[in-house]
Amino acid sequence: DAGVIQSPRHEVTEMGQEVTLRCKPISGHDYLFWYRQTMMRGLELLIYFNNNVPIDDSGMPEDRFSAKMPNASFSTLKIQPSEPRDSAVYFCASSRGLGYNEQFFGPGTRLTVL
Amino acid sequence: QQQVKQSPQSLIVQKGGISIINCAYENTAFDYFPWYQQFPGKGPALLIAIRPDVSEKKEGRFTISFNKSAKQFSLHIMDSQPGDSATYFCAASMDSSYKLIFGSGTRLLVRP
């Protein structure tokens, strides 16, 4: 398996623009997670899905952030409008089943908002 | 109560030495404690994990020590190698919740 795939790997945009990050989880995994990593706040869980349904979005910072999972093989995280403080590395991760199952992380998208 | 506190923030060890990273938690409902390793430009990857029914788990050069009464756990890297240079994150979760709560990370540098 190719692992979790994220695109783009790098994104540079200007404040106010819409940004869409994409994720393809590992086939057969039924949980998908979006994380944000910054120096100041570390790794933060933004939202996670089970069988394409959002389960917990309490980590989404504000209404400018939205996430969707239209099918088992694709998810998006959208920021509209983007702000400089959104600059971070965004990771997608997936896992299979409940309990103590390993989360497999993608390579991340480094977002810079100017 | 949901926090996991990790120390030190950074660590420099000579090749062949022992690297020790510590984590502490408050929520006694946590029952799964994984460690993730992250290399620059990569996503975190599971290194080793422990449940509180054991006090120690060893996989190769990596050992987790767990102290349930003190609500602390630590990662020991024996015979540290330059290839171990990475950022290490401890984490915790409850079986009833799929959320992993991550520590702040420790940047380890192993000098040749």
The answer to whether residue A102 scores a pLDDT higher than 90 is no
The answer to whether residue A34 scores a pLDDT higher than 80 is yes
The answer to whether residue B100 scores a pLDDT higher than 90 is no
* DSSP state letter for A26: P
**For residue B73, which of B95, B51, B105, B47 has the smallest C-alpha distance?**
B51
Give the pair of three-digit tokens for residue B28.
Answer: 């006694």
Residue A28 φ/ψ, nearest 5 degrees: 95, -15
Which member of A31, A44, A105 has the closest CB to residue B44?
A105
Question: Which residues in chain B have Cβ-Cβ distances shorter than 8 Å to A48?
Answer: 98-99
Tens of pLDDT, residue by residue over A71-99, are 999 999 999 999 999 999 999 999 987 66
Tens of pLDDT, residue by residue over B39-84, are 999 999 999 999 888 999 999 999 999 999 999 999 999 999 999 9
How far A108 CA lies from chain B's nearest CA (Å)?
6
Question: Which residues in chain A have Cβ-Cβ distances shorter than 8 Å to B100?
Answer: 45, 103
Q: Which of residues 27-66 of B touch A (CB under 8 A)?
A: 32, 34, 41-46, 49, 51
- CA–CA distance, B26 with B14 (Å, rounded to integer): 33
pLDDT for position A40: 86
Select the more confidently predicted residue: A61 or B87.
B87
Interface residue of A21, A37, A43, A95 to substitute, partner B, most B CBs within 10 Å: A43
pLDDT for position B95: 72
How far B26 CA lies from chain A's nearest CA (Å)?
18
pLDDT for position B80: 98
Question: Which residues in chain A have Cβ-Cβ distances shorter than 8 Å to B51?
Answer: 100
The answer to whether residue A61 scores a pLDDT higher than 90 is no
